[in-house]
Amino acid sequence: MDWLKRLAAARVLVVGDVMLDRYWFGDVERISPEAPVPVARIQKTDERAGGAANVARNIAALGGQAHLLAVVGDDEAGSALERLLTAHGVKASLHRDPDIATTVKLRVLARQQQLLRIDFENEPSHEVLAAKLDEFEAMLPQVDVVILSDYGKGGLRHVQRMIEIAKAHGKPTLVDPKGDDYDRYRGATLLTPNRSEFRQVAGRWASEDELCAKACQLREKLDLDALLVTRSEEGMTLFAASEIVHQPTQAQEVFDVSGAGDTVIGTLGLMLAAGLTLPQAMEWSNRAAGIVVGKLGTAVVHPEELFGDSE
């Protein structure tokens, strides 16, 4: 199969909370005379697209067409994010809202260790993406699949309308959920909670049977086609109406699990857009996650890594 050609024709729209991950690397040789804290002398900096922007970046890295619709602040971090996305080949429609600050997570590291993380974020006073519904709808005819990447920063608080509109256009909608109110995701094609997110809405389970029962119950209650529970070192399980499929993790080595969820939903959306079935798409997405956890920092997977000889 000519994967590259197939993926190049696959179009995915990602909507959601974007953020900028910043890393400052330095040396620590002394304690500050001002307070009992280390002084880091910064030698190197790095920045990465995070949240929904990382989902879009994962799709572009695999050679798919990634469109991104999101709101950022009218600030330096917003410009940095836009620059990064353009460089990664994401077609980003970032709206600048002067009333909000772009979410930034800044890590200060010395000798491979994190000294401190500093978060810049504020909950927007209004539903920033609600004003973009017209643009969302206008983009739908040009895409095959919609991904809603909810990081609980307020961008998707009223996501229900987007799901309805996407459905009216016949576009599958995949949601990476946050929080404990899943009613707003009603009618989506698929949700991808991780273990703790699922536990937060469905409660604890003591056996696989109990997990199945809880997942099926939630799937029916929310009128979803399927629920994909990602289970860290246990891999992932797909609960669809017609079948339940479990895949163990493919990871050979685990260095950094942050961003694995973005790789899962990005790959899944891209493979569905390329015409694969849900269980087939899940297999690739599990493989991609297994590769990405072996890389340091919020990372992406490239086609040659994913397909190897089958490319």
Residue entry with tokens 């409660």:
203
Is the CB of 139 or the CB of 238 nearer to ligand ATP? Answer: 238
CB of 286 to ligand ATP, least distance (A): 5
Instruction: Please list every residue from 94 through 123 that binds ligand ATP, using CB under 6 A.
Output: none
Helix (H) or strand (E) holding 304: helix 303-307
Q: Is the dihedral of CA 278, 59, 47, 286 positive or negative?
A: positive
Question: Closest by alpha carbon to 19, among 44, 43, 55?
Answer: 55
Instruction: Please list every residue from 246 through 265 that binds ligand ATP, using CB under 6 A.
Output: 249, 251, 254, 257-262, 264
Q: How far apart are CA 92 and CA 103, in angstroms?
A: 17
Greatest Cα pair distance, the chain, in angstroms, is 65
Binding mask 216-235 toward ligand ATP (x if CB under 6 A, else -) reads --------------xxxx-x
Of 102, 173, 189, 194, the one binding ligand ATP by CB under 6 A:
194
261 binds Mg ion (CB under 5 A): yes
What residue 257 binds from Mg ion, ligand ATP, none (CB within 5 to 8 A, per partner kind)?
ligand ATP
Residue 262: active-site member: yes
Per rule CB under 5 A, count of chain residues that contact Mg ion: 1
Contacts with 155 (C-beta within 8 Å, 6 or more apart), sequence order: 16, 17, 18, 52, 70, 71, 124, 127, 128, 129
82 binds ligand ATP (CB under 6 A): no
Please give the residue ranges that form the binding site for ligand ATP (CB under 6 A): 194, 230-233, 235-236, 249, 251, 254, 257-262, 264, 286, 289-290, 293
